[in-house]
Amino acid sequence: MEGRLNTARMENHTKILAVSGKGGVGKTSVSAAAVRILTERFPDARILAIDADPAVGLSTALGVEVTETLDDIRKRVASDVTGKLRDTQDILAEARFRLFEAMQERRGFAFLAIGRPETAGCYCAVNAYLKQVIETLASAFDYVVIDGEAGIEQINRRVMEKVTHLLFVSDQSKKGLSVIGTIRRVADELVMYEKAGVILNRVTRPELLPSGSIDGMDLLSVIGTDEDQAENDIEGRSVFDLPEDAPILRGVRDALDKLSIY
């Protein structure tokens, strides 16, 4: 595998990796690890990290300070258009301009937080415009990593309808495995994707692991107890402070290799 991205090859085929799973299984850590791995493997690539979780945990994991979210932009644009008749393309252009303003540029990647979930009385038409903005924005990048909330529907509804790769994260619990099975079935109905697979994280009883696949999905990687990651979380450090051989990084590298995302 070459160490640098062939950007000409990628211009018409952005790789969009959506990470999903039950809360508390480490999907944000997996998402952050994926961003770090991509920036290191492809230093010339255009990489976008999207935090689609209202808790905005990915920002901490990547060492990014969030100053404005997509929801903030939605409200600003909605306020501007209230009571006015404006051309759809004008609204779209303004939202897209503000979106670029809100993006945080960091070491080898750009970052965008979605913000709080929608509430009753929201401007659904403007949300539809912003969905188009995100889809357009994604095409300007080689890789997009989305840290989703607990489910693919939020990603499908608020960000984009098509992802190329789905990465499901679970622990060994029956509940965690049941959740990713449900998400997979929803994704099969609502999302057009090329490949999918599972990372089992925080595994304490490897002898009890299923072999080969989980609910018909390939088991890409198994990550055990990660003291480096736990210490990072306690001290509030970013994924870029982890040692190169940290279990979370080794496990996510294996998963990305098997997903053929490169």
φ, ψ of residue 194 in degrees (nearest 5): -95, -45
Question: How does pLDDT run across 10-65, given as a tens digit for each residue?
Answer: 345 899 999 999 888 999 999 999 999 999 999 999 999 988 877 678 999 999 98
Domains and CATH numbers, the chain: 12-259 (3.40.50.300)
Question: How does pLDDT run across 234-254, given as a tens digit for each residue?
Answer: 888 999 999 999 999 999 999
6 confidence band (pLDDT: 50, 70, 90) = very low
Among 110-114, 130-134, 210-214, 230-234, which is the least confidently predicted range? 130-134
143 confidence band (pLDDT: 50, 70, 90) = very high
Give the residue-averaged pLDDT of 115-120: 57
Give the residue-averaged pLDDT of 117-138: 57
Instruction: Report the range out of 117-121, 122-126, 161-165 with the highest average pLDDT.
Output: 161-165
Q: How far is CA 23 from CA 78, 149, 170, 180, in A?
A: 31, 8, 9, 11
3 confidence band (pLDDT: 50, 70, 90) = very low
Q: How many CB atoms lie within 10 A of CB 152?
A: 25
4 confidence band (pLDDT: 50, 70, 90) = very low
Question: How does pLDDT run across 67-107, given as a tens digit for each residue?
Answer: 888 777 767 766 665 555 455 556 566 666 777 777 778 77
Q: How many CB atoms lie within 10 A of CB 72?
A: 16
Length of the chain measured in residues: 262
Q: What's residue 212's pLDDT? A: 73
Rounded Cα distance between 58 and 56, Å, is: 6
Give the residue-averaged pLDDT of 150-166: 65
Share of the chain above pLDDT 90, in %: 37
- CA of residue 65 relative to chain centroid, distance: 17
Contact 34, 18 (CB under 8 A): no
Q: What secondary structure does DSSP assign to 15-75, as a single string?
A: EEEEEEESTTSSHHHHHHHHHHHHHHH-TTS-EEEEE-STT-HHHHHHT------HHHHHH
Q: What's residue 125's pLDDT? A: 47
**Average pLDDT score over the chain:** 79
- CA of residue 258 relative to chain centroid, distance: 18
**pTM recorded for the entire structure:** 0.84
Share of the chain above pLDDT 70, in %: 74
CA nearest neighbour of 210 among 200, 195, 202, 201: 200
